[in-house]
Amino acid sequence: MIESLTGAVTFEPGDVVTLKSGGPTMTVIGVKEDGVQCMWYAEASDEVKTAVVPAICVEKATAFVYEDEENDDDDDKPKKHGKKKRHDDD
């Protein structure tokens, strides 16, 4: 557990966090005395990066919106499954 000036904040490996000031989502890979060890994908440089961030600077991420789910207008429409049957007129 890491204590910050605002009280006890608990981070565990596997938690998804963000900087309070914004930026990419990061995954906690460890907790150290001097902060939270995080890993994230830096898309601009196509690299996976790690850093120890002071616990007071991060917060647990609350929700994810995946790009392919943002514009799903047909979520409420029933989906057809199976093959279409061919009808031959005799």
Beta strands 58-60 and 26-32: pairing type?
unpaired
**21-52 pLDDT tens trace:** 999 999 999 999 999 999 999 999 999 999 99
Whole-prediction pTM value? 0.62
**63-86 pLDDT tens trace:** 766 666 555 565 565 555 555 555
Which architecture, in CATH terms, is 2-62?
Roll (2.30)
Residue 40 backbone phi and psi in degrees, to 5: -155, 165
Q: How far apart are CA 16 and CA 5, in angstroms?
A: 21
Answer for the pair 48, 3: CB distance below 8 angstroms, yes or no. no
